[in-house]
Amino acid sequence: ATLNNQKAVLKVGSDELYVVNVTAVQSVTTTGNTSNTSAVPTVELKPFFSGIVLDVTPQIDASGAIMLHVHPSISVVTERNKDLTLGLQGSYSLPLPVASISETDSIVRVMDRQIVAIGGLMTQQATSDRSGVPGVSEVPVFGNLFKQRDSTRFKRELVVLIKPTVIGDDGNGFEGDQPDPAMLKPQ
């Protein structure tokens, strides 16, 4: 529920922390006549959201028509390692976030209690599994008899259904209109 011209936000998912910056602070320690220089890394973490977000902003005009600004989005954040060479300090493998975002932005005009359907947010996922008898499955030619490969592809589409209902100050529908009787029946 929201008010006229006020955004409503629905978020389903989770925030995960990912490394976004690493800085090294030089540290010098002196013991007697010997001094050692070392770098102390400082890691900066930032939360990234994976999941579904739906923003809806309604605008109701004097005739009771509703203009809806609907913005659904799906975000999936994964981790990918990046190899960095830091000269004398050596090389490091740094896990970095990779975001995949699908979103749409729609403005629709409907009357009170009409249903709006918004689709088109597709996600695809492919999996590949291999299994086999250890040792025997690696033998050229005959090894194929002792191993199994399985690959699967998934396609999913998010469809958003919205039924805006205008509620007046008296708790009834727009301009004193009575609520739909089906909505008043006990479930």
Percent of the chain with pLDDT over 90: 40
Distance CA 54, CA 160 (A): 9
Q: Give me the pLDDT at residue 183, please.
A: 46
Average pLDDT over residues 10-28: 87
Per-residue pLDDT of 20-72, as tens digits, reads 887 877 777 777 777 777 777 788 999 999 999 999 999 998 888 999 999 99
Give the per-residue pLDDT at 172. Answer: 63
> 24-30: long-range contacts (C-beta < 8 A, 24 or more apart)?
24/86, 24/89
The residues facing 161 across adjacent strands are: 117
Please tell me the predicted confidence (pLDDT) of residue 184.
Answer: 44
Q: What is the pLDDT of residues 142-156, one digit of tens each?
A: 888 888 989 999 898
CA dihedral 45→51→52→53, nearest 10 degrees, is: -10
